[in-house]
């Protein structure tokens, strides 16, 4: 047992986060996202499940040890709502709150069209699937430096 680590972070999760470098992306998604098919394109190659965690809880745990990139304007990306690209879903608002709190500053979140988001997700280092029912609970987090 280690002190000071969030209990939601498994050994597999911590190992994967340690293996990531500055500028690597992490996809964190809800249960509806095609996590397995996207994960096979990533460096890690498989889904890491955070069973029992909704998006805010999972993001809070991850961002307790992983800094967001400060060298890019928008270190977080989200999927636009199909048919209503300017709409913010509750998942978007909750992730914004978690990211801002974790970083101690406002974090810019970039919105991508659905298929552009999928393409960006396939370039991620790894995929983390939460138990969140969504919808639109899919985010790409770019790792920064400590």
118 is catalytic: yes
41 is catalytic: no
The answer to the question of residue 68 being in a domain is yes
Predicted structure pTM score: 0.96
Does residue 138 sit within a domain?
A: yes
Domain membership flag for residue 136: yes
* Kind and range of the H or E run holding 119: helix 114-122
Per the structure, the count of domains in the chain is 1
Burial level of 135, CB count in 10 A (0-12/13-18/19+)? middle
CATH number at residue 104: 3.40.1650.10
Q: Give dist(CA 97, CA 24) in Å, integer.
A: 22
Q: Does the residue 4 lie in any domain?
A: no
Q: Of 24, 69, 132, 136, which residue is the catalytic one?
A: 69
Per the annotation, the verdict on 33 as an active-site residue is: no
Q: What is the mean pLDDT of each run of 10 residues along the chain (146 residues)?
A: 90 97 98 97 98 97 98 98 96 98 98 98 98 95 96
Domain, as residue range, for 121? 23-142
Is 67 part of any domain?
Answer: yes
Residue 101 lies in a domain: yes
pLDDT at residue 7, as a whole number: 94
Does residue 32 form part of some domain?
yes
Residue of 33, 118, 132, 136 marked catalytic: 118
């Amino acid at each position: 047992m280690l002190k000071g680590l969030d209990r939601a972070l498994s050994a597999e999760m911590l190992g994967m986060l340690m293996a990531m470098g500055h500028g690597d992306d992490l996809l964190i998604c809800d249960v509806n996202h095609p996590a397995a098919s996207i994960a096979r394109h990533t460096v890690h190659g498989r889904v890491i499940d955070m069973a029992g965690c909704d998006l805010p809880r999972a993001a809070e745990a991850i961002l307790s040890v992983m800094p967001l990139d400060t060298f890019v304007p928008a270190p977080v990306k989200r999927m636009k709502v199909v048919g209503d690209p300017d709409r913010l879903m509750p998942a978007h608002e909750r992730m914004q709150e978690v990211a801002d709190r974790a970083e101690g500053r406002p974090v810019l979140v970039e919105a991508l069209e659905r298929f552009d988001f999928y393409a960006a997700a396939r370039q991620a280092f790894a995929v983390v699937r939460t138990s969140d029912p969504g919808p639109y609970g899919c985010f790409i987090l770019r790792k920064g430096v400590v």
